[in-house]
Amino acid sequence: MSAHPFTKNSGLLAHYMALDQRGVVQAEYIWIDGDGEVRSKCTTLDGPVKSIKDLKEWNFDGSSTNQAPGGNSDVYLRPVAYYPDPFRLGDNILVLAECYNNDGTPNKANSRYECNKIMNQAASHKPWFGMEQEYSLFDMDERPYGWPKGGFPGPQGPYYCGVGSGKVFARDLVEAHYRACMYAGIKISGINAEVMPSQWEFQVGPCEGIEMGDHLTVARYLLVRVAEEWGVKVSFHPKAVPGDWNGAGCHTNYSTEDMRKEGGMKAIEAAIEKLAQRHLEHIEVYGADNDKRLTGKHETGHIGEFSSGVANRGASIRIPRHVAAQGFGYLEDRRPASNVDPYLATGKIAATTLL
Ligand code: ADP
Ligand code: MN
Ligand code: MN
Ligand code: MN
Ligand code: MN
């Protein structure tokens, strides 16, 4: 990849990043803003953090992030989890925070609060989730990354899990993100190049309960942050390129303890029946512009109609072939869009099937 004018000079930076910190550490607080995008800011701490209680409640100007009116703009950041920082290394950390208003109520952008309540109520079922995050890469001129100037790449076919020049784009960026997730302790379970050129997927999971939203949020932060170094933009739009190109989803795999046991197929079928009753309620929280993706084409089920089936990639819910064969395991909800709020999606699935 050629150097981009907005990309920092990593050769120069290396010298400064190797300087001794003299005992103090950096904590990068991460939160979700009023538009569902990640934001972050950094503070210096006296020394290494040993427990979440060592981290202070902090605040920011919510009027600048579509999270509060200008006249009452303080929004509070309450740390909920922290991770080793793959950029600054050492004892430096990333801090995931929930947003609260001045009066102590959860901020409108804080969907984790409700999700956490649901997950606590459902905890005895040990709900596991695994999310397949698809995304598309763009250059600074808003062109799909690596696509020929003034034209289009050849039709879809060679790109999914592709190998070789002209079939995959930005593998180095993807590889960097994968390792950054591992370093941070994010349960990233794999990656693959997707059907549309310059579209990729990473999987996170299985994660139990609230950990799913937390790990996916941090994985998204890491992706956007790594891509920044390459001068590449990440799009989570479910139909990033109009036309005969695959949209982007965030398939959400789900199981409970009952589903994972011998004979678990019964519990899987019971859950699918409950999900069928609430199709539209689920679609409402599965991401904006999902109607542009769930057309019934390009390996999707139609947005207006619930369907399920074994090994059926054109259904709302798919039971993987190997799950049907062994009689227990998990189901795959294929409806969530790539821009889905993972706290809303996992909370909704748990509430519909367990509460
Ligand atoms: P696909 O065949 O649909 O492309 P992937 O391999 O991309 O599937 O993703 C499968 C996802 O399912 C992973 O995120 C994985 O963590 C998750 N998963 C595996 N087993 C379970 C389970 N028992 N419960 C919930 N999620 C699971
Ligand atoms: Mn200031
Ligand atoms: Mn997948
Ligand atoms: Mn995929
Ligand atoms: Mn899938």
Does residue 198 belong to any structural domain of this protein?
A: yes
In a domain? residue 10: no
Q: How much distance in Å is there from the Cα of 76 to the middle of ligand 2? A: 15
List the residue whose alpha carbon is closest to atom 11 of ligand 1: 130
Nearest to 35 by CA among 237, 329, 199: 237
Which of 229, 213, 245 lies closest to 86 in space, CA to CA? 229
Query: For position 333, what pLDDT does the model report?
Result: 98
Q: Does 172 lie in the same domain as 62?
A: no
17 in any annotated domain: no
Nearest CA residue ID for atom 8, ligand 1: 132
**Residue 9 falls inside a structural domain:** no
Longest dimension (CA), the chain: 60
Distance CA 85, CA 241 (A): 33
* Residues 203 and 301 reside in one and the same domain: yes
Output the pTM of the full model. Answer: 0.97
If asked whether residues 219 and 100 sit together in one domain, one would say no
Is the Cβ atom of 332 under 6 angstroms away from ligand 1?
yes
Q: How confident is the model at residue 297 (pLDDT cuts 50, 70, 90)?
A: confident
Question: Residue 329 in contact with residue 260, Cβ under 8 Å?
Answer: yes
Judge if 201 and 276 occupy the same domain: yes
**Total length of the chain:** 355
Question: How many domains, the chain?
Answer: 2
Domain that holds residue 44: 23-109
**pLDDT of amino acid 298:** 82
Q: Does residue 14 sit within a domain?
A: no
Which atom of ligand 1 lies at the shortest distance from residue 334's CA?
A: 3
Q: Is the CB of 128 under 6 A from ligand 1?
A: yes
Mean per-residue pLDDT over the chain, rounded? 95
Query: 355: exposed, middle or buried (C-beta count within 10 Å: 0-12, 13-18, 19+)?
Result: exposed
Q: Which of these three, 75, 109, 143, is where a domain ends?
A: 109
116 lines ligand 1 (CB under 6 A): no
| 127 located within any domain | yes
- Same domain membership, residue 96 and residue 198: no
User: Ligand 2 centroid vs 105 CA: distance in angstroms?
Assistant: 24
Q: What is the pLDDT of residues 246-283, one digit of tens each?
A: 999 999 999 999 999 999 999 999 999 999 999 999 99
Lowest pLDDT segment from 41-55, 291-305, 335-349? 291-305
Q: How far is the CA of 66 from the centre of ligand 2 (A)?
A: 17
Ligand 1 nearest atom to the CA of residue 254, by list position = 25
**pLDDT at residue 303 above 90?**
yes
Residue 8 belongs to some domain of the structure: no
pLDDT in tens, 183-220: 999 999 999 999 999 999 999 999 999 999 999 999 99
Q: Give me the residue label for tokens 């942050």.
A: 225
Question: Are 213 and 275 in a shared domain?
Answer: yes
* Residue 46 and residue 70 share a domain: yes
CB count within 10 Å of CB 220 equals 23
Same domain, 251 and 324: yes
Reported as a single tens digit per residue, the pLDDT across 64-76 is 999 988 888 899 9
pLDDT in the model for residue 3: 46
Q: What is the pLDDT of residues 87-139, one digit of tens each?
A: 999 999 999 999 999 999 999 999 999 999 999 999 999 999 999 999 999 99
CA geometry: angle 345, 171, 41, nearest 5 deg = 55
Same domain, residue pair 247 and 283:
yes
* Whether the complex's predicted ipTM surpasses the cut of 0.95: yes
| CB of 31 sitting under 6 A from ligand 1 | no
Q: What is the CATH number of the domain that holds 346?
A: 3.30.590.10
Average pLDDT for residues 29-50, to the nearest whole number? 97
Query: For residue 68, how far is its CA from the centre of ligand 2 (angstroms)?
Result: 16
Q: Is 280 exposed, middle or buried (0-12, 13-18, 19+ CB in 10 A)?
A: exposed
| Integer angstrom CA distances of residue 267 from 168, 241, 288 | 40, 38, 30
Pocket lining: 253 vs ligand 1, CB cutoff 6 Å? yes
Does the C-beta of 129 come closer than 6 Å to ligand 1? yes
SS3 82: strand
> Based on the domain organization, do 284 and 190 belong to the same domain?
yes
Ligand 4 mean position to 88 CA, how many Å?
31
Q: What's the CA-to-centroid distance between 333 and ligand 3, angstroms? A: 12
Q: Does the CB atom of residue 255 touch ligand 1 within 6 A?
A: yes
Amino acid at 46: D
Domain of 62: which CATH number? Answer: 3.10.20.70
| Residue having the nearest C-alpha atom to atom 13 of ligand 1 | 130
Give yes or no for a contact between 291 and 239, defined as CB atoms under 8 angstroms apart: no
- β-bridge mates for residue 284, sequence order: none
Alpha helices by DSSP H, 196-341: 211-230, 257-260, 265-277, 279-284, 321-326
Name which of 343, 235, 342 is nearest 293 in CA terms.
235
The distance of Cα 351 from the centroid of its chain, to the nearest Å, equals 20
Q: Which of 50, 111, 56, 108 is nearest to 78 (CA)?
A: 56
The whole-angstrom separation of Cα 324 and Cα 316 is 16
How many Å lie between the centroid of ligand 2 and the Cα of residue 77? 15
Using DSSP's 3-state secondary structure scheme, residue 88 falls into: coil
Cβ neighbours of 244 (radius 10 Å): 11
Closest Cα to residue 342, out of 249, 223, 246? 249
**Domain edge (last residue) among 84, 109, 134:** 109
Query: Does a structural domain hold residue 186?
Result: yes
Q: Helices then strands (H, E): number in the chain?
A: 9, 13
Measured distance CA(70)–CA(77) in Å, rounded: 18
Listed residues 73, 90, 109: the one ending a domain: 109
Nearest ligand to the C-alpha of residue 41? 2
**300 and 259 share a domain?**
yes
126 and 98 both lie in a single domain:
no
